Chain A
Amino acid sequence: MESKISVKNLDFFYGSNQALYDISLEIPEREVIAFIGPSGCGKSTFLRTLNRMNDTIAIARVDGSVVIDGRNIYAPGTDVVALRRKVGMVFQKSNPFPKSIFENVAYGIRINGIHSNKADLEERVEKALRNAALWDEVKDRLNSSAFGLSGGQQQRLCIARALAVQPEVVLMDEPASALDPIATQKIEELVVELKRDYTIVIVTHNMQQAARVSDRTAFFMLGKLVEFNPTQKMFTNPDEKLTEDYITGRFG
């Protein structure tokens, strides 16, 4: 089977500190992949290598390859801007822009010049908001500030913003970690819904969440990939003793 993302022998360094060791992993198209593991195990760092978000850190260094649709994104001459349009990202803390709700979603469409005219832009914003299950809650106040939304709504706004530029892959870095159970449930339903059109990689601290939403799970520890298997198998009959210990909470 052709993988959407294929990672081979990836090492990652912050200065002289190695954060990821020899990670190899295949991510199939239109599936939800969950990354789990204790804090500081490198799962967020790994997620951020998939759209080269770590480029913003001056001392970061990457070895190995990440191949998306047959092209190594770390090859010289890679257009990082185009890559990030294709591989969208939702962050742990919702980070709406200091603009109106409409303009938040429209921003990515505008800068990438995706829309043909004003009506098309409005249509795309509405579609993105509907995809993020937020349209009904905000349709009457599109021009008010995004900061007036609740935490859960802000996070869904950020998802809508990411979807609006029509990415193929959506990276989510603990998107529900700061949300209450009801808002979390909405995000989870959304993730399952989005799987039809997108490949989704989601980092989570919440094991039940990984079990609920993902098709495959990767377990990281101390910068190493311990196990990568279908979620069903991972949570019932993992290959590694370490995985079982972590999932069942017997750790130490």
Chain B
Amino acid sequence: MTTKTINSIDRRRVVNMIMTSLTAVCAVFAIAVLVAILGYIGVRGISSLSIEFLTDTPKPVGEGGGIGNSILGSAIMTLLAAFLGLPVGIAAGVYLAEFGRNWFGNTVRFVADTLIGVPSIIIGIFVYTLVVLPMGRQSGFAGGLALAIIMIPIVARTTEEMISLVPNSMREGALALGAPQWRVTWNIVLPAAASGIATGAMLAIARVTGETAPLLFTALNSRFYNYYLDQPMSSLTVQIYNYATGPFEVEHAMAWAATLLLVGLILVINILVRFFTRKKF
């Protein structure tokens, strides 16, 4: 072996070591930020958490109060958003993946990508103009609708991606048995992509659970337990915003506790995703 090749091997080793360490440092940094945020929220939030806090409605400063109505409101609006947004989003994704190789599909794809990039507050203003103004007041329905509109393009694109991962050989196998196109999509492709689609759906739900801006315009807030979709409705995120921007220390503490709860909920959704999407076959 010549000296030159030995040198080049040494050089390669050194470069390899430097690059590996660099990527490792960046990975540690990314994790560290996450841990720091979670830790800080945990420390600040845990002290104000109590059963009363989780079930009570907001009260005047100094008299305690809680976020029970906000939890309920967030749950109702998120469910409504999922109910409205998931079917449309998933169906659109199926269309894009299986039948969308034409100008119309390309247009839909482009519009969906643009919608994903639109700041959520603009969706809020849109629904405000479309629903809130004609109705004359903010409502849980308007909030759920805004969240659904945010979900649709996300779900459509992840669904399309997951379906595109299903190997073409599987479609051909079914077609070769004399299966019509719609049965191939319905019986073979969708089940094969189901866990991926469910993951995308849950992640979209987790995403809108954390939305604040569109709800400010549409659902506003409420100090009471509200089960009616045509009335203003409280949500965790808007309530956090209110508590956090309030002048009193005790409100800030409640904001931290609500934040902890929200982060915990999103974590639970993500764990559920993992749990329900384990491969069966």
Interface residues of chain A, those whose CB is within 8 Å of chain B, are: 51, 53, 56, 58, 81-86, 88-89, 91, 93, 95-100, 107-108, 111-112, 145-147, 158, 161-162, 165
Contact = CB atoms under 8 A, between A and B. Distances in A.
B183 interface: yes
A165 B281 contact: no
Q: Which 4 pairs of residues, A with B, have the shortest CB-CB distance? A: A85-B178, A108-B177, A89-B176, A95-B169
Interface of B: 101, 167, 169-180, 183, 187-188, 191-192, 280-281
Nearest to B173: A95
Contacts of A108: 177-179
B176 A146 contact: no
Nearest to A110: B187
B170 A84 contact: no
B174 A107 contact: yes
A225 B74 CA distance: 68
A96 to B, nearest CB: 8
18 contacts: A53-B172, A53-B176, A56-B172, A82-B178, A84-B176, A91-B172, A95-B170, A97-B170, A98-B191, A107-B177, A107-B187, A108-B177, A111-B179, A112-B178, A145-B280, A146-B281, A147-B281, A162-B176
- Describe A's contact surface by its main secondary structure: helix
Contact of B176 (A51, A82, A99, A145): A51
A84 B169 contact: no
Which of A83, A91, A98, A161 has its CB near the most chain B CB atoms (within 10 A)? Answer: A98
Contacts of A98: 170, 191-192, 281
Contacts of A95: 167, 169-170, 172-173
Contacts of B179: 81, 107-108, 111
B173 A158 contact: yes
Contacts of B173: 91, 95-97, 158, 161
Contacts of B183: 111
Contacts of B281: 98-100, 145-147
A56 B175 contact: yes
Contacts of A53: 172, 175-176
Given A58-B101, A147-B281, A97 B175 contact: no
B277 to A, nearest CB: 13
Contacts of A82: 178
Contacts of A93: 169
